[in-house]
Amino acid sequence: MRFVIIGGDAAGMSAASRAKRNAPDLEVIVLEATTDVSYSACGMPYNIAQSERDMNDLVVRHAKVFKEKQGIDLRLGHTVEKIDRGRKAVMGSASEWGTFEIEYDRLLIATGARPLIPDIPGNDLPGVKALKSLEDGRRIKDYLAANDVKQALIVGMGYIGLEMAEAFHARGVCTDMIEMRPRLLPYLPEEMAALVRKELEDKGIGVHLGAGIKAVESRDGRLAAQCDQAEFTVDMVLMAAGITPNSEIAAGAGLDLGPGKAVAVDRFLRTSDPDIYAAGDCADAFHVLTGSRVWIPLALRANRAGWAVADNITGSPAELPGIMGTAVFKVLDLEVARTGLSVEEARQAGFDPVENLIQSRSRAHSHPGNTTISVNLVSDQKSRKLLGGAMVGKEGAAHRINSLAVALHAGMTVDDFFQCDMAYAPPFSPVWDPLLTAANQMLKKL
Active site residues: 42
* Largest pairwise CA distance in the chain: 70
CA 356 to chain centre: 26
Q: What would you report as the CA-atom Rg of the chain, rounded to the nearest whole angstrom?
A: 23
Spell out the SS3 assignment of 90-130.
EEEEECCCEEEEEECCEEEECCCEEECCCCCCCCCCCCEEE
Burial pattern 33-71, b for ≥16 Cβ within 10 A else e, equals bbebbbbebebbbbbbbeeeeebeebeeeebeebeeebe
Q: Which of 122, 168, 89, 159 is nearest to 330 (CA)?
A: 159
- Going by DSSP bridges, is the β-strand pair 276-278/106-109 parallel, antiparallel, or unpaired? parallel
Q: At how many degrees (to 10) do helices 10-22 and 299-313 cross?
A: 30
Are the CB atoms for 15 and 310 separated by under 8 Å?
yes
> Between the CA of residue 84 and those of 101, 196, 321, 334, what are the distances in Å?
10, 48, 30, 49
> Between the CA of residue 230 and those of 125, 177, 210, 211, 381, what are the distances in Å?
20, 12, 11, 8, 45
> Between the CA of residue 300 and those of 57, 303, 395, 417, what are the distances in Å?
20, 5, 22, 25
**CB atoms closer than 10 angstroms to residue 218:** 12
**CB atoms closer than 10 angstroms to residue 287:** 18
Are the CB atoms for 136 and 143 separated by under 8 Å?
no
* Torsion sign across C-alpha atoms 15, 107, 72, 27: positive
Look at the chain and count its residues.
446
